[in-house]
Amino acid sequence: VQLQASGGGLVQAGGSLRLACAASGRTNIMEDMGWFRTAPGKDREFVAGILTSDIRTQYADSVKGRFTISRDSAKNTLYLQMNSLKPEDTAIYYCAGRRVADSVVVSDARAYGFWGQGTLVTVSS
């Protein structure tokens, strides 16, 4: 499975961006998916996740109410709609996938075996 993230860029605080993650290859083996980010000088952190079974979602507290994760299975594409962006949202954003269809969203990056190359989001103040 290959994951290709896109949609990053430079935006002013309060603005919006929509990230996309296109999956190709043996996409039938990929189940739950998520978005993670790595900010300068910080460890990779969970942003949002979505289950393949019932489209249940989960968000990090820092983005709850501002970000929305969704997926279009017909297009094999994962999305992250980011609104009310803050300078602290500046990071490289990665999409990730799992072989497992779990009953809860997993926020541990080690559980995800498929990763995209990352797309840079810069929020200016």
pLDDT at 55: 76
Closest CA to 97 of 41, 26, 8, 18: 26
How far apart are the C-alpha atoms of 34 and 56, rounded to whole Å?
12
pLDDT at 70: 95
- Looking from the CA of 39 toward its CB, the CA atoms found within 13 Å total 10
Confidence of residue 105 (pLDDT cuts 50, 70, 90): very high
Confidence of residue 29 (pLDDT cuts 50, 70, 90): confident
pLDDT at 88: 97
With a pLDDT cut of 70, the percent of the chain lying above it is: 99
pLDDT at 113: 95
Calculate mean pLDDT across residues 25-41: 91
- pLDDT digit string (tens) for 34-47? 999 999 999 999 99
- Looking from the CA of 72 toward its CB, the CA atoms found within 13 Å total 8
